[in-house]
Amino acid sequence: MHSLDASDVDARETPGQRLVAAAARAMIRVMVRPIMRAGVPVEQQRIRLTRMGRITRAPRGVEYRTGACGAVPGEFVTALGAAPRDRAVLYLHGGGYCVGAPATYRVITGNLAVRCAARVFAADYRLAPEQPFPAAVDDAVAAYRGLLDEGIGPDAVVIAGDSAGGGLTVATALRLRELGLPQPAALVLFSPWADLGLAALGPPPAGEILITKAWLAACADHYLAGHPADDPLASPIGADLRGLPPTLIQVGQDELLLTDARRLHRAMMAAGVAVHLQEYPRRWHVFQQNADVLADADRALDAVAAFVGSSVNTATGAP
């Protein structure tokens, strides 16, 4: 496990970056947290998050094109002027399986396209409560099949996701194993939600500014729709994880889902998976969304790019 301690962060964090972090925290607490809370109708959460996405600062030099992969709608993300690479990232967004869309996560998907020299497909998978479990898993598998049908080898595909999309990423790999389909080269998980049962969820850290247990519980109820929470494709924390590809987990230490990230890391290690956990002190849920502004977000995505490059090169035998 690679865990940065607070003294390391203090030593490298400039006064300007401390101000950036404070401003980002304040914005999330005031503008985003009130949207993602129990009691706010799902449709209202979607509308308000879509509006927030319109003011998100997406990276320059990136093209976002609506399309479909394996009949799953979504967004293709490519770096303009980049040399074509036979490498793809399937991105599964967060939002508790109920909210969120590819356009909301353009900061992350655009940076992945640039930093990983990859073609990114952000799947607009079906959401609950209209389409409960296992619709999201089915769509993720269909999108993965679509990439393979385009001629990209599985050893050149990485599946990545944040929050619920992080848990969905692991569930997708498990479903691929069930179907006898080849595994991708690697998995990348940002602040994964891996246990919809919530029983083992620890208390929120003092610095938690976004996610609440009540909101997670409401989302789980919508997604499961009466289905058992301990189904491995819903809560992969309890699955047989043997044979899954190399995995990178990144999580902030100031977030409720830190417990899930650590538990999933331990479970993967016990199953013999080549898994790496990176914890960032005083960082919040999916802080990578603040890339190009927050230095730690840039460092985290650089680490992802290095991991993706190494994993794909190892899988393909490239130098």
255 is catalytic: yes
- Nearest residue to 35 via CA among 23, 22, 53: 53
Q: Are 284 and 255 in contact (CB under 8 A)?
A: yes
Catalytic option among 208, 255, 265, 311: 255
Taking each helix axis from N to C end, the angle separating 15-27 and 295-316, rounded to the nearest 10 degrees, works out to 90
163 is catalytic: yes
Pairing of strands 62-69, 72-79: antiparallel
3 is catalytic: no
Q: Are 95 and 127 in contact (CB under 8 A)?
A: yes
Q: For residues 62 and 297, what is the distance between their CA atoms, to the nearest angstrom?
A: 18
Q: For residues 150 and 19, what is the distance between their CA atoms, to the nearest angstrom?
A: 45
Alpha helices in 241-294 (DSSP H): 258-270
β-sheet bridge partners, residue 158: 89, 186
Question: Phi/psi of residue 189, each to 5°?
Answer: -125, 120
Catalytic option among 163, 191, 235, 311: 163
The CA angle 81-84-86, to the nearest 5 degrees, is: 150
> To which residue do tokens 């080849």 refer?
182
Q: Are 110 and 141 in contact (CB under 8 A)?
A: no
Number of H helices and E strands in the chain, helices first, is 9, 9
Taking each helix axis from N to C end, the angle separating 135-149 and 164-179, rounded to the nearest 10 degrees, works out to 70
Q: For residues 72 and 89, what is the distance between their CA atoms, to the nearest angstrom?
A: 15
Catalytic option among 93, 222, 265, 285: 285
Active site amino acids = 163, 255, 285
